[in-house]
Amino acid sequence: MKRLWTPWRMAYLKAPKGSETRECIFCEKLRAEREKDRANLVLERGARAFIVINLYPYTNGHLMVAPFEHSGDLESLDADTQQEMMRLIGKSIRALRRVMNPQGFNVGANLGRAAGAGVEDHVHFHIVPRWNGDTNFMPVLAETRMISELLPDTYDKLLQALKQETD
């Protein structure tokens, strides 16, 4: 038997679930000082929304875009916030193309528990880079995803690419 060591996932496994959950993960990251953005994986703060690397990614470069406003309803966000979120999604895709050269993307939001929302009270969009043939037996048989780069390394590359992007 072969072993795939992923000790960084223990924090996720031990974290409180459901009603035990502490504060909203997105609001917590926003309240932190900007000097802690790297530790919190926050890549960019706009006027109304921000880009963050998913701490538990499906693939390398899995980003999320969320509004500053704590709301689980996309339709309750004002038009300026919705517009900025879409702008940041586009900017994220351009930066991911530059750094990782994916062949496609999954972009979407799970709105509500029935839709699979892991954080249902703070709307957010996922940007998941994809490559032809990037699926394998690990997620299906072993319920394990293989992430080939450390998150801080991904952060540094994407931060530089986002700084080069114009709005």
Active-site positions?
Answer: 124
3-state helix, strand, coil in the chain (%, to 5): 40, 15, 45
Q: Report the C-alpha dihedral over residues 79, 130, 39, 115, rounded to 10 degrees.
A: 50
Both tokens of 22, joined, read 């502490």
Which residue's structure tokens are 């706009």? 46
**Within 10 A of 69 (CB to CB), how many other CB atoms are there?**
16
Q: Own/partner pairs for 64-68, CB < 8 Å, 24+ apart?
A: 64/124, 64/125, 64/126, 64/127, 65/89, 65/92, 65/124, 65/125, 65/127, 66/26, 66/122, 66/123, 66/124, 66/125, 67/122, 67/123, 67/124, 68/30
